[in-house]
Amino acid sequence: MKSLIQIMLAIVITCGLLSFVASKLEAAGSAGGKDTLVVYNWGEYIDPDLIDQFEEETGISVIYETYDSNEAMLTKIRQGGTSYDVVVPSEYTIETMIKEDLLIEIDHSKLPNLKNIDPYFLDLPFDPKNKYSIPYFWGTVGVVYNPNEVPKHITFDSWGDLWDPVLKNKVFLVDGAREVIGMGLNSLGYSLNSRDEDELRVALEKLKQLNGNVKAVIGDEITPLMINNEATVAVTFSGQAADMMFENEELNYAVPQEGSNLWFDNMVIPKTSKNVKAAHQFINFMLDAEVAAQNTDYVGYAIPNKAAWELLDEEVVNDERFYPPEESRKNLEVYENLGLELLGKYNEYFLEFKMSLK
């Protein structure tokens, strides 16, 4: 009898423990609430001190998670397993999220610091009137290189310089289908948003001719490798280039004249948000001039916050490599939402290109 009672007691305790664990797992899977803000952002894309400052000023605890691609982020938002309050997608992904009804309209009346944003970066085609998104960072895709390690005729005013035989095994490429296929398209005078399969195939064949020059196709590790002169040239984002150049003064950055990508990353609030009020507080906090200036000093990317420009070193905001004037942006294109089928084709061709590398 005693043994039976002990068994029943053990069962009750076990069930209780399982219920407790299940409730904790459920809470973790749906993080968020009135005293918590869940932010989902790119890696190395905010000054951690600013998160601490926001928590101190508001009493709101921040849970901060990162992703490495728009596609990975979008998949997780669609699944809805975690209730993110603020996410920072790129323009073409924002367009997709709007079409799929994944976002909450932003209440501009709760963002007094929105006045700090340069009007150039507002009311863009991917989100008219900024109903769903607020500018965070912007930049370009280009070429960072060591002028001391290449002949003088190679300046990367043209994408064609990447194919020069003197760059054998000296080129890093960022691991992104839109960036690499776009580079191939631009090198031929085509739009990086091409929907023409013949143009895509020609661009792929052109990229395959880079075979001997490409040392690796890599992600964030491209930054320390270039800083340490592990390669001579890298096709990458302007902010990464700025980080490299800060640590290695021999490096330079150029955007080829045939054209390239002009990108925008904006803050949005997913419909699964459990703390819309805090999400607005956080967005407004990041729009503060001093906060934005500190953030760009840490991250290295260009900010659309005009009020913050006055707080930055003049040599930073006057550097046309990273803050290209409006006139020179005419040859740059914003990524368009190509749709799942065509985006799949870009990814397919990019994989074929990577598999062709020796």
pLDDT in tens, 38-77: 999 998 899 999 999 999 999 999 999 999 889 899 999 9
Distance CA 223, CA 221 (A): 5
62 and 151 co-located in one domain? no
Q: Is the pTM of this model over 0.85?
A: no
In the chain, how many domains are there?
A: 2
Mark whether 126 and 254 lie in a shared domain: no
Clarify whether residues 70 and 172 are in a common domain: no
Note whether 351 and 234 are same-domain residues: yes
- The residues that bridge with 252 in the sheet, in sequence order, are 145
Coil vs helix vs strand at 185:
helix
Band (pLDDT 50/70/90 cuts) for residue 32 is: low
Residue showing tokens 């006139």: 327
Residues 348 and 221 in one domain: yes
Rounded to whole angstroms, how far apart are CA atoms 139 and 247?
19
Res 17 pLDDT > 60: no
Looking at the fold, whether 241 and 348 belong to one and the same domain comes out as: yes
**Same-domain pairing of 185 and 222:** yes
Give the SS3 label for residue 64: strand
Neighbours of 288 (CB within 10 A): 18
- Of all residues in the chain, what percent carry a pLDDT higher than 90? 79
pLDDT digits (tens, 9 = 90+) for 121-152: 999 999 999 999 999 999 999 999 999 999 99
Query: For residue 15, is it within any domain?
Result: no
Kindly state the average pLDDT of the residues 341-345.
92
* 343: CATH: 3.40.190.10
Q: Is residue 202 part of a domain?
A: yes
Same-domain check for residues 145 and 208 = yes
Domain membership flag for residue 17: no
CA–CA distance, 92 with 70 (Å, rounded to integer): 9
Asked if residue 27 has pLDDT above 80, the reply is: no
Position 38 scores a pLDDT of 98
Whether 352 and 257 share a structural domain: yes
Q: How many CA atoms lie within 13 A of 268 on its CB side?
A: 31
Of all residues in the chain, what percent are helix, strand and coil, respectively (each to 5)? 50, 20, 35
Collect contacts of 285-289 with beta carbons under 8 A, ≥24 apart.
285/50, 285/54, 285/57, 285/58, 285/113, 286/50, 286/136, 287/111, 287/113, 287/114, 287/116, 287/117, 287/134, 288/113, 288/116, 289/113, 289/116
Is the pLDDT at 6 greater than 50, yes or no? no
Averaged pLDDT for residues 242-259: 94
Q: 14 in a domain, yes or no?
A: no
Residues 211 and 341 in one domain: yes
Residue 16 predicted with pLDDT over 70: no
Examine residue 160 and state whether it is found in any structural domain, yes or no. Answer: yes
Two structure tokens written together for 196: 């023409």
- By C-alpha distance, which of 126, 97, 102 is closest to 193? 126
For residue 158, how many other CB atoms are within 10 A of its CB? 16
Dihedral (C-alpha) 187, 261, 328, 306: value to the nearest 10 degrees?
-170
Report if residue 233 sits inside a domain.
Answer: yes
Average pLDDT of the chain to the nearest whole number: 90
As given in the structure block, the two tokens for residue 271 are 């419909």
pLDDT tens digits, residue range 182-222? 999 999 999 999 999 999 999 999 999 999 999 999 988 89
Residue 28 — pLDDT band, cuts 50, 70, 90? very low
Q: Is residue 19 part of a domain?
A: no
What residue ranges in 59-207 does DSSP mark as E strands?
61-67, 86-87, 134-145, 171-174
Residue 126 lies in a domain: yes
Lowest mean pLDDT among 15-19, 36-40, 91-95, 158-162: 15-19
Q: Give me the half-sphere count of Cα atoms (radius 13 Å) on the Cβ side of residue 102.
A: 24
In the predicted model, is pLDDT for residue 322 greater than 70? Answer: yes
Q: Beta strand pairing status for 36-42 and 61-67?
A: parallel
Half-sphere exposure of 148 (CA within 13 A, CB side): 5
Question: Domain of 121?
Answer: 32-137+265-317
Confidence of residue 26 (pLDDT cuts 50, 70, 90): very low
Q: Are residues 166 and 211 in the same domain?
A: yes
Q: How far apart are CA 166 and CA 261, in angstroms?
A: 26
Residues 233 and 348 in one domain: yes
Any bridge partners for residue 143, and if so which?
A: 235, 254
Q: Say yes or no to pLDDT of 224 above 50.
A: yes
Residue 234 pLDDT > 50, yes or no?
A: yes
